[in-house]
Structure formats: C-alpha cells, structure tokens
A and B are shown apart, each in its own frame.
Chain A
Amino acid sequence: MKDMSVKPVYLDNAATTFPKPASVLEKTMETYRRIGVSPGRGGYDLSAEAEEYVRDTRRKTARFFGSSAPDRVIFAGNATDALNIALQGILHPGDHVVSTRLEHNSVLRPLYHLREKGIIEYDLVRFDGKGFVDPDDIVAAIRPDTKLVVVTHASNVLGTVQPVREIGRCCAERGVLLLVDAAQSAGAVPIRVDDWQVAALAFTGHKSMLAPTGIGGLILSRQLEDIEPSRFGGTGIDSASPVHTRDFPYRLEAGTLNLLGIIGLSESLDYLAEAGVEVMHTREMELLGKLSDGLSLVAGIDLYNAEGLSDHVALLTANVRGMDPHDVGAILDGDFNIAVRTGVHCAPLVHESLGTSPGGSVRFSIGPFNTGSDIDLVLEAMKEIARHGGKG
C-alpha cells in the first residue's frame, strides 16, 4: 500500500484539473493585485484598465475557439451556467430540440425543466456500442419545428469525442442551430466554432483549460442575434434605462464580472498556447493508453472506453466485477491515496445504456501533471483490489 504522507495521485481531472500550473496561479494573483476592481464601472483609469483586460480576454478566448466574434464571448460561471443561458435564451414555446443520451445533467435537466413547463419538446438520440453518436441519427430526429440540436463534444463518462463538424454541417443544411457542450473538450482538443458552423458553444475554465473554478462562458455565432437574456441587472452601461441592454456581450451578462476568474482564464489561455493543446493531449493519451492496456489485462475488471482510444479525451471508466464502484473509489482513496470519481457522473442515461445503473462506475481522468509512475501505482492498486474483491 502507498505511503499516505505523500501527495495523492489525482485522477479526477475531468471534474476539475488539479493542480493548476503554478505560473497560472502566480500570474493571476499578480494581475488581480494590480487591477482587481470593477471592470468598466468607474470613471477612473484602473477600472478602464480592468475593462480593457476583460475585452482582451474575450478576444483571446474567441481566437482560442476559432471564433471571429469576440463581442459574442459571454462570461458565465461554468459550462452548466452557460448552457442554461443558451437554452433559456434560444428556446421559445413550441420549439423542438434534438439531443443525445450521452448528455450530462447540465443539458438533460434544463431540457427536462423546459419540457415540464410545457415550453419545449425534445428527443434524445442513442449512441453506438463504441460511444459515438451517428450524425444520421440526429438528422432523422430533426422535425420541421426543430430549432436546436444540443450535443456534448466529449462524453464525461466514455471520453468519446463526437463528430461535431459533421453534425454542424447537417444542422446548417437544415437551418437548425447547433449548441455544443464543450465542458470536457475545451482545452483538451482543438475546437473551431466558425469552421464547424456551431451556433453556440459552452465551456468551462476549471477542467482542461486549467483555469480556476467559477469561470466559463458561451461562444456565440452571429446567427444568434435574437437570443434573449434570462437574467437582468447592472451591466455598467445605459444605467439610467429600466431595460437591460441589447448590446453584446452585456445582453447576456448581469452584475459585476468574476474578474479573478477572467484573469485566471486569460493566464491559462497563455499557458495552453505555449504548451500546445495537441502536444498535451498526445501526452495524456499515451498515459491513458498505458492505463487502458494495463487494466485490460487484470482479471475481473470491465472497461467501458472506446476501442483503440481513437477520437477520445484522456479519461476512461471501469468497474471491478462484484464490487460497488463507490467502495472501489473509497479503497483507492483510503488505502492507496488515489483520487478518482465514482457513481453515474451526472450522466444517468449513459449508465442506463451501458447497463451500469444505478451504481455507475469508477472514472480515471488524466491531467497534464500526471506521470507514468502515477499510472503504475493505479495499475498495482487495481490489481490488488480486483484480486481482493473477487468475492462477487
């Protein structure tokens, strides 16, 4: 068993990457100490400087996601928050939505809520045995009254990266808007919203973008000129009017922005640009391959990732036959100092389709600071647990 006095092997990076790059944290604090005031809310230079910093981060974020519309970068708390802003702003009574069974509750619950309120109808498309949605299935589910298709870019349970470019083409040909949940893919794989004809993309900073928690956003295309706000309040402009401004990006933002988070996002974007998203992804996938290969040799372990790990982000889920995944997670933590995520990962329909409901599975997700020796420790631990737990 592992020496518990050393730092844990952290393999819950799909929930929140940890640790953050030291340079991101240091530079973030340095900048926040210097300009941590209300951006654009005062007549003094420091406020203007903070606002310019925010504007520059919008430009940088747009560039990162392949968007030509920096004024359509809307800051939000995280991907769930951004998805809510998008869904509540785009959908109107009588609209139909197509989504998938791969979705996280960040999509499923807002859709369910809107349907229960009698506002929308929706259909969910299946995924295949390898964890991918077929664009033809989405096309088949589109009706004359379909306004929106919502898809996750990368499954938070299976790690599979969906064919968003192809889905975007199908949607554009039919005049249907495409909303992408990039919670797991932003910072993990390259994204080009303009090229892929994405109407809106929701991202969060705290996962593969390596920013702190509490910052995320929405990248809108100019197709969405009529998106409605679902929150209202101070924006720092037109303050005498009782009407929330229609100007972007403020139309969908209300209240003082999370400047500390925006600075963290800006610094993490610089870090990603220097390190290279594809370089980091290749390294993480090598570690995932080692983990997958090792686990596949352990008797009594079921793996749920795609064969060959093609079109994948660096996570996989597994179960030890005969053991509650929560107990496996507790043992990994308590006996081996390895942190993982267990349960249904807020994606209940994926587990329903896999046949792993209601207990779910154990998810291992790799980040930029994991090493080959971390994977060795996990493999040793899982061998021991599978051997020990073979009572079922």
Chain B
Amino acid sequence: MRTDDIQQRVRVIAGREVVFDDEGFLWRPEDWTEDVGRALALESGMEGLNDDQWKVIRFLRDYYAYHGRAPMNRDLKAGLGMSLMDLEALFPGGIRKGARRIAGLPNPRSCT
C-alpha cells in the first residue's frame, strides 16, 4: 500500500527522470524500460544482465502487466521453472531487492 510517509526520490536514470521509493523501488512500474533495468542492475554491481536474468525480468514484467500484481511464490517457481533458491542466487540483491526491483515491480511493503 502506498502511504504518505514513504519517502519519494526523483533521480535521473538511463537519461530520464524516474521516481523511486526510499528502498530504491520504482514508484510507478510504468516508468520501467529495459534501459532503466540495465542501469539498476549496474548500480547493483552487475556488469550486465545475462539471458537467465532477462528471462526472470521479462517473466515478472509480463506477469505484472497481465495480472496487475506480482506473482505469488508458487507462480514464480512454476513460471520460471526454477527453484526460488536458484532465483535468489541469480541476482546479487536476491529476489526482492534484486530481481523484483530491477524488473521495476512495486515494493512489496507488507509487514515491513
């Protein structure tokens, strides 16, 4: 849920102004482009995104566009055909701060 107490920050990334929350998640998922994804990956210390990582990011983007929400754990596992442990290891920031953030999905703020 978006609330007024969450800090917003505007940054120029991949040549455009993008609004982020205080944990570095995109405020508006529609601001995401592949260039934004690459730039976020670079900021995370990744030199580039390989095919496996792009497969994850495209799955997350497509799922979110179709369902209007992030996939549940079981959808993620079934859709990607890999364990969540392997997914976690695929991104330096793990699932939430890595894959999900780089894919431009909203911050799952529940119970944090």
* Sampled A-B contacts (26; CB under 8 Å): A327-B84, A327-B88, A327-B95, A327-B96, A330-B95, A330-B96, A331-B95, A333-B73, A333-B74, A334-B84, A335-B77, A335-B83, A335-B84, A343-B110, A343-B111, A344-B112, A346-B111, A358-B112, A359-B112, A360-B112, A388-B85, A388-B89, A389-B85, A389-B88, A389-B89, A391-B89
Give the complex CA separation of A333 and B96 in angstroms.
14
Query: Scoring B residues 79 to 92 as 1 if CB is less than 8 Å from chain A, else 0, what string do you get?
Result: 00001110011000
Residues of A within 8 A of B111 (CB): 341-346
B39 CB-CB contact with A under 8 Å: no
A360 neighbours in B (Cβ, 8 Å): 112
- Indicate if B48 sits at the interface (CB-CB under 8 A): no
- Bound CA span A334–B94, Å: 14
CA distance A346 to B109 in the complex (A): 12
Chain B's closest residue to A337 (CB) is B74
Partner of A327, one of B83, B94, B110: B94
Query: What residues of B have a CB within 8 angstroms of the CB of A334 in the complex?
Result: 73-74, 76-77, 83-84
Tell me the bound Cα distance from A331 to B73 in angstroms: 8
Taking CB atoms and an 8 Å cut-off, the chain B residues in 50-107 that contact chain A are 73-74, 76-77, 83-85, 88-89, 93-97
Mark interface residues in A333-356 (1 if CB within 8 Å of B CB, else 0): 111000001111110000000000
CB-CB under 8 A from A344, the residues of chain B are 111-112
* Pair B85/A326 contact, Cβ less than 8 Å: no
Instruction: Kindly state the separation between the CA atoms of A237 and B112 in the bound complex, as whole angstroms.
Output: 43
Nearest CB of B to A146, in Å: 29
Residues of A within 8 A of B73 (CB): 330, 333-334
Closest 3 pairs between A and B when the two form their complex, measured CB to CB? A334-B73, A343-B111, A334-B84
Q: Does A301 sit within 8 A of B, measured CB to CB?
A: no
Residues of A within 8 A of B83 (CB): 1, 331, 334-335
- Contact assessment for B88 and A326 in the assembled complex, using a CB-CB cutoff below 8 Å: no
Contact B94 A323 (CB under 8 A): yes
The answer to whether the Cβ of A46 comes within 8 Å of any Cβ in the partner chain is: no
- New contact pairs (11) apart from A327-B96, A391-B89, CB-CB < 8 Å: A323-B88, A323-B94, A324-B95, A324-B97, A327-B88, A330-B88, A333-B73, A334-B84, A341-B111, A346-B111, A389-B85
- Given A324-B96, A326-B96, A344-B111, residue A331 in contact with residue B74 (CB < 8 A): no
Size band of the interface chain A makes with B? 20 to 34
Say if the beta carbon of A4 comes within 8 Å of chain B: yes
- A105-142 vs B: 1/0 string, CB under 8 Å? 00000000000000000000000000000000000000
A323 to B97, alpha carbons, bound, how many Å?
10
A1→B83 CA distance, assembly (Å): 9
Bound together, the chains give a CA A379 to CA B76 distance in angstroms of 24
Kindly state whether residue A384 has any CB partner on chain B within 8 Å: yes
Q: What 1/0 flags go to A357-385 for Cβ under 8 Å of B? A: 01110000000000000000000000011
B37 to chain A, nearest CB (A): 19
B-side contacts of A4, CB under 8 Å: 74
Cα(A115)–Cα(B89), bound, Å: 45
Within 8 A of A (CB), among B16-71: 23
Within the complex, what minimum Cβ distance (angstroms) separates B104 from chain A? 18
Give CA–CA (A358, B77) in the complex, Å.
26
Residues of A within 8 A of B84 (CB): 327, 330-331, 334-335
Minimal beta-carbon separation of B44 from chain A (angstroms): 13
Alpha-carbon separation in the docked complex, A330 to B99 (Å): 13
Residues of chain A contacted by B77 (CB below 8 angstroms): 334-335
CA distance A330 to B77 in the complex (A): 10
A window 146-162: CB within 8 A of B: none
A391–B77 Cα distance when bound, in Å, is: 21
Closest to B91 in A: A327
Nearest CB in chain B to that of A333: its residue: B73
Q: In the complex, what residue of chain B is closest to A4 when comparing beta carbons? A: B74
A343 to B23, CA, bound (A): 14
Q: In whole Å, how far is B1's beta carbon from the nearest beta carbon of chain A?
A: 14
Chain A residue with the shortest CB-CB distance to B88: A327
The one of A343, A384, A391 in contact with B112, judged by C-beta atoms closer than 8 angstroms, is A343
The minimal Cβ–Cβ distance linking B84 to chain A, given in whole angstroms, is: 4
